[in-house]
Amino acid sequence: MPAKKSIKRKICLIGEGGVGKTSLIKRFVFDQFSDGYLITIGTKITKKEVTVKNPTTGDDLTVTMMIWDIMGQKGFREILREAYFFGAQGAMAVCDITRKETLDELEGWIQSMNDITRDIPLVFIGNKCDLTNEAEITFNDVKDFASKYEEPTVFLSSAKTGVNVNLAFKTLADKIAAKGIDTKEDQLLDNL
């Protein structure tokens, strides 16, 4: 039986401070949630393996997602963007459905990322969907925003309840696998 194929990919979460990027990662990787808000200082890296289908062979493919979390303060976007986005092969653009301005600000985040990465697989998340009474953004708002980007995939999620969190990360892993499997990218990531 042939060895199971695996790849390693750098994933970046982008979006304003307080949208729930760190909480989404904690829910996905550790299946945990905390109501306390702690601002991310600098960058944190977490990893988790996801099994998807190899689009070429149909066999199982393990994608080791090296998930990078960055502080969401606008002033740091330009300062840290080279190091943060360098080598990224996938991203999640996260907004907070209770704060409309966080959706508007995603355009700047995506532009900063694309300046470094060019086009990489992207998933859009409207987070905090458990706060329906406070919502300023609908699924259609996020979908309309995402429609200007190539092959947009959109989810409403809740890091608190876990709804659509695993599905969003798995969808990103599927999109990464569909883009192609190049072991040179794995070697590059090993050197970061």
Q: What is the pLDDT of residues 11-49, one digit of tens each?
A: 999 999 899 999 999 999 998 887 654 555 556 789 999
Q: Which domains does the chain have, with CATH numbers?
A: 5-190 (3.40.50.300)
Query: Which strands form 122-127's sheet, in the order they lie side by side?
Result: 43-53, 60-70, 5-14, 88-96, 122-127, 154-156
Q: ∠ CA 183-187-190 to the nearest 5 degrees?
A: 135
Q: Which of 70, 76, 74 is nearest to 21 (CA)?
A: 70
Q: Is the pLDDT of residue 128 over 50?
A: yes
pLDDT confidence tier of residue 71, bands split at 50, 70 and 90? low
Q: ∠ CA 22-23-24 to the nearest 5 degrees?
A: 90
CA distance 137 to 47: 30
pLDDT confidence tier of residue 187, bands split at 50, 70 and 90? very low
Least confident of 52-56, 100-104, 180-184: 180-184
pLDDT value, residue 119:
86
Q: Measured in whole angstroms, how far is the alpha carbon of residue 74 from the centre of its chain?
A: 18
Task: Find the DSSP H helices in 50-89.
Answer: 74-85
Those residues with Cβ within 8 angstroms of residue 73's Cβ, 6 or more apart along the chain or in another chain: 17
pLDDT value, residue 75:
56
Those residues with Cβ within 8 angstroms of residue 48's Cβ, 6 or more apart along the chain or in another chain: 28, 29, 64, 65, 67, 169
Q: What is the pTM of this model?
A: 0.87
